[in-house]
Amino acid sequence: ELPAYPDVPKGLQLLKENGFRLITLTNSPLATLTAQLQHTKLTGYFEATLSIDPIKKYKPAAETYTWAAKQSSVDVTGALLVAAHGWDIAGALQAGMQAAFIEREGQSLYPLAPTPQFTGKDLIEVSNSIIAHYK
What does the pLDDT profile of the chain (135 residues) look like in tens digits?
A: 789 999 999 999 999 999 999 999 999 999 999 999 999 999 999 999 999 999 999 999 999 999 999 999 999 999 999 999 999 999 999 999 999 999 999 999 999 999 999 999 999 999 999 999 998
Q: Give the start-end residues of each E strand in 2-102.
A: 23-26, 48-51, 80-83, 98-102
Count of other CB atoms within 10 angstroms of residue 120: 19
In a domain, 2, yes or no: no
* The pLDDT value given to residue 118: 99
Residue 132 resides in a domain: no
Q: What is the CATH number of the domain that holds 42?
A: 3.40.50.1000
Q: What's this model's pTM, rounded to 2 decimal places?
A: 0.94
Q: In a 3-state reduction of DSSP, which class is residue 21? A: coil
In a domain, 3, yes or no: no
> Is residue 1 included in any domain, yes or no?
no
For residue 135, what pLDDT is reported?
87
> pLDDT at position 1, please?
74
Residue 135 lies in a domain: no
Question: What is the domain range of residue 118?
Answer: 8-127
